[in-house]
Chains A and B, each alone.
Chain A
C-alpha cells in the first residue's frame, strides 16, 4: 500500500512547528501504524534528514507511551486502540494521512509528535495512591471484595495513562484519567480511609495543571484505548461532592 503522510514537525518546545509531507510506498497491510512510521524514518535517515520523533515502547497497547492524532482522531478512528494497535489495513491504498501530536495546553509539544505528559504524574503524586507502607499488611484474603466491585475497579484500573482522553476533549479535560483512579480506589475496601482526601487532592492538582472541565462531550470514552466509561466521571463527581459536603 502507498500513502501520503502530512506530519507535524517541531524541533523543540520553543519552535513554532509546521506540517511536512512525505510519501511511503509498498507498505504491508499487516504492518502497524508505527511500523509504517519506521519505514518512513529509515527513508528519512537515508536521505540525511532527521527522522520523525514519537514516543512508543511496548507496541502492544499497554505501556501508554504512543499517542498521536491520526486524521484528527486520537489513536485513529478505530475503537479501543492505542496508536501502536492501528494496522495499515484499516486505511485505503493511496490515502493521505495527517499525523499530529496531542494538542492540549497541559501537554506541551517537546519534539515532533512527542508531548510532555508529566502533568499526569503530578496528579498521581498528589493523591493517586493508598498510603500503605511496605510490610505490615493483613493477609490478602482477610477482606473479601464483592466480585462486581472488583470487576468494576479493574475496568477503571485498565487506564494506560496515554492522554487520549485529554487530546480528544474540546476542553482538554483530564476528568476521565482522574476518574479512573478515584473510581478504582473508591470501589475497593482498601481505598476507603483516604477516600475524601484523595479525590480533593487529585482534582486540585488537575485544576492546577490547567486541564479543563467536563462538558459531557463523551469524546474521551469514544477514544479511550481501554474503553473506560464516562460513568467513572459520574462517580468522580459524586465522590468530590460528598467529600466537600461531609
Chain B
C-alpha cells in the first residue's frame, strides 16, 4: 500500500490556510443531506460532534458511558498549551511547533505539528467563550504555568482539573446540539465493528450495553474518537473502561495502525502498593514546577526523608539536566527514575519509588500558596496513601499513561479506509515518539473544533454516496459476526475470571515491553502473548447474560482485543531497533544513557497492515522529512 500523507504544498506557515481555501465546501442547504457517526465523547469526539452539528450535518454520537461527560478526558489534570505569549517570555507558534516536534524526538510529521501549534490559540479563545473557568491573576487575565520540555509558560489551567473543565465545555456544546435535535445521542453503546461498503466506511455495529441488542448505524462517514489503548498494560492511569476495540476492529477491516509501540510512561504516579490494585493514579506534571525530585545518595538509607541532610540527597534530574532540571520531558524523567531504582537507590517499602519534595516551595511561598495551586492533588495523594504530602515528600514512580501510536491518518485526519476519520488519542498524528505535557487536550480539541469540520466537508463534497439501509448485506454480515463473537465469549466456560488473564498480560507488557525494551525481552513477550491469548479463549470464565448489563462480558470483549493488539505493539517495538522518545531500546543508547535515534534507518512512521488472523502484519513506511527543524540529539542539558 502506498501511503499518501496529503501534506499540502507551500511554506509550512501557509500550508493550512492554503489547504483550507483549496478544500471543497458543502453548501449549507445540502449539509442536512449528510449524516456522520462520531464514536466517543471525550474532548475530540464531543468537540467534533458539536461543531459538525453546528454546521448543519446530521450527527449520530455514541459512547459506552451513561453520559458524554464521563469520557476519560475528564481526568486530565495539568493544563493545555497555547503559544499566546501572554507571559511575554518569547513564545510563538514556531516555538511551540519546535518544542513539540523535538519533544516527540523527530518522529512526527512537521506539517501536522505546525498546524496543531497554529490552531491551539483559538482553542483557548473558544473555551473562555464557553465559560470554562481558567485560572486568572489579580488583574483578571489568564494565568499560565510551565510544563516539561518547554522553557516558557504557555500552559493554561483550571486548578488541577483542566481536563474536566475543557470536557465539560465541549459537553455543554454537545448538549446544546442534542437539545436542538441536531445530534442524536446514544448512551451505553459499545462499537463492536466497522462496516465498510464498496471500500468506504459507511457505518458501525454497536452492542447496546443495557439491553444486549446488537444495533446497526448507517451514515456517510464515521469518526473514531475512542481514545488510547494504554490499558493493554492492565495497570495504567487510564479509566477502567478505556479500550482499543473500536480502533482494533477498524484495523482488522483495513485501516493501518501506526507506531503502536510508542508508549508514554508518565514519571509522576503514585507507586504500586499491592496485588489488589486496579489502576494507577497520576500526580500532575504541573507538580514538577514546584516539586523537586530526589533520592538518598546512599542505597538502603532508611532514615525519614526529613532526616536526610541536603548534601546526602541526589537531585538527579537537576544534576543531569541543569537547564531543564525537574521539567525535562516525561520520557526522560521516567527513564531516569527507573535507572535510579534499578541501581537500588529507590525509596519506600518496595524501593520502586523516588521522592517529589515540596519543602522548598512551602518554605518559599507558604503552605497556602501550594494549597491554592495543587490542593486537590495533595488531597488525592493523602486519600490514597494516608500520608501527608505537606509534611513529607510524595513518593512517585512512572506508570503507563498515554499512547502516541494509533490509527494512521493523513493530513485530513482520514485513515486508509475512505470515510473513516480518526481524531484525538486514537490516531497517531502529532506527538511522534513522545508527547509533551498539556498537549493531549490541545490535540483532541484542535482535531474536533478546528480541523475535522473542514476536512470532513471536503470529503463529503468530493464523494458520491449510494443510499444504504441497515438491511444491506454488509451490515447484516457484520451484525451477525458481532452476535457470534458475543456467543463465543459466553461459551468459553473456563476457570479464570477475565480480569486475572488481563493482569497476566499486563505483567508481560510491563516487564518486557515497558520502559526499557531489548531484543531478548521482546522476543519473550512475543512468545508469551499468544500463550496468554490461548489461555483466554480456553480458560476464561464469562458469567452473565447477553440480554442485560453484563460487566464481565464487556470486559471480556475488550481484553480479547488487547490480547491481539499487545502482539502488534511488541512486534513494532522489536522491529524499531533504535531508541526514540518513549520507545527505549536498551541496545541503543549514548554513553550518558540518552536515547540514540537512528535517523538513517528509522525516520519513518511504521504503519502496519492486517493480513489475517495468525499472520504477520505487513509493514508500510511513511518517510518523515524535516525541512524546517533538523533532527539532532534531543538535549535538555
- Chain A interface, DSSP helix/strand/loop, else mixed: loop
Contact across chains for B130 and A110 when beta carbons are under 8 A apart: no
Question: CB within 8 A of A51: which of B128, B164, B551?
Answer: B551
A173: CB under 8 A from chain B? Answer: no
Name the interface residues of B57-80: CB closer than 8 Å to any CB of A: 65-72, 74-75
Q: How far is the CB of B457 from chain A (nearest CB, A)?
A: 13
Whether the pair B138, A87 counts as a contact (CB closer than 8 A) is no
Question: Is B16 engaged at the interface, CB distance under 8 Å to the other chain?
Answer: no
Q: Is the CB of A45 within 8 A of B552?
A: yes
Cβ of B304 within 8 Å of any chain A Cβ, yes or no, is no
Contacts of B552 in A (CB 8 A): 45, 51
Of the residues A41, A59, A137, contact of B125 by C-beta under 8 Å: A137
Q: Does A245 count as interface, using CB distance less than 8 angstroms? A: no
Which residues in window 52-89 of A have CB below 8 A to B? 53, 55-65, 80-81, 85, 87, 89
Say yes or no: A58-B142 contact (C-beta < 8 A), given A125-B179, A133-B54, A154-B158.
Answer: no
Closest to B71 in A: A63
Known A62-B74, A154-B158, A154-B159; contact A38-B278, beta-carbon cutoff 8 A? yes
Q: Are B274 and A30 in contact (CB under 8 A)?
A: yes
Q: Contacts A58-B74, A59-B279, A185-B131: A64 and B136 contacting too (C-beta < 8 A)?
A: no
Interface residue? A3 (CB, 8 A) = no
B539 to chain A, nearest CB (A): 12
Question: Smallest distance from the beta carbon of B545 to chain A beta carbons, Å?
Answer: 8
Docked pose: A139 CA to B125 CA in angstroms: 5
Tell me the total A-B contact number using a CB cutoff of 8 A: 217
Whether a CB of chain A sits under 8 angstroms from the CB of B141 is yes
Chain A residues lying within 8 Å of B281, measured Cβ to Cβ, are: 59-60
* A50 and B279 contacting across the interface, CB-CB below 8 Å: no
A134-B50, A145-B140 known; A150-B135 Cβ under 8 A: yes
The CA of A137 and the CA of B50, in the complex, are separated in Å by 16
Determine whether the beta carbon of B130 is less than 8 Å from that of A80.
no
A147 engages B125 (CB within 8 Å): no
Instruction: Report the separation of the CA atoms of residues A227 and B261 in the bound assembly, to the nearest whole angstrom.
Output: 41
* Chain A: CB-nearest residue to B187: A118
| A48 adjacent to B543 (CB under 8 Å) | yes
Q: How far is the CA of A135 from the CA of B125 in the complex (A)?
A: 9
CB closest residue in chain A, given B540? A45
- Give Cα A48–Cα B549 distance, bound, in whole angstroms: 17
Cα of A114 to Cα of B69 in the assembled complex, Å: 17
Which residue of the partner chain, among A34, A116, A124, A145, contacts B278 with CB atoms under 8 Å?
Answer: A34
B69 contacts A184, C-beta separation under 8 Å? no
- Known A-B contacts A133-B54, A147-B137, A157-B165; the reply to A11 vs B548 at CB < 8 A is yes
A42 at the interface (CB under 8 A from B): yes
The CA-CA distance from A76 to B558 in the complex, in Å, is 31
Query: Is A241 located at the chain interface by the 8 A CB criterion?
Result: no
B469 contacts the other chain (CB 8 A)? no
Interface residues of A in 128-176 (CB under 8 A from B): 128-135, 137-141, 143-147, 150, 153-154, 157-158, 160-161
* Interface, chain A (partner B; CB < 8 A): 11-12, 27-28, 30-32, 34-36, 38-39, 41-42, 44-46, 48-51, 53, 55-65, 80-81, 85, 87, 89, 110-111, 114, 116-118, 120-121, 124-135, 137-141, 143-147, 150, 153-154, 157-158, 160-161, 184-185, 188, 190-191
The 7 lowest CB-CB distance pairs between A and B, nearest first, are: A144-B140, A125-B179, A129-B172, A137-B129, A154-B133, A57-B239, A153-B133
Task: Name B residues whose Cβ lies closer than 8 Å to a Cβ of A.
Answer: 47, 50-51, 54, 65-72, 74-75, 84, 86, 122, 124-142, 158-159, 161, 163-165, 168, 171-173, 175-176, 178-179, 187, 210, 239-241, 273-274, 276-279, 281-282, 379-380, 383-386, 449-450, 453, 495, 497, 499-500, 541, 543-544, 548-549, 551-552
* 21 examples of A-B residue contacts, CB within 8 angstroms: A31-B276, A50-B543, A57-B240, A58-B74, A58-B240, A110-B210, A114-B549, A121-B69, A125-B176, A125-B178, A128-B175, A129-B130, A129-B173, A132-B130, A134-B173, A137-B128, A138-B125, A140-B125, A144-B141, A153-B131, A154-B165
If A132-B130, A144-B139 are given as contacts, then 12 extra A-B residue pairs at C-beta distance below 8 Å, sorted by A number, are A35-B276, A51-B543, A57-B72, A59-B239, A124-B175, A125-B175, A125-B178, A125-B179, A129-B130, A134-B126, A137-B129, A140-B142
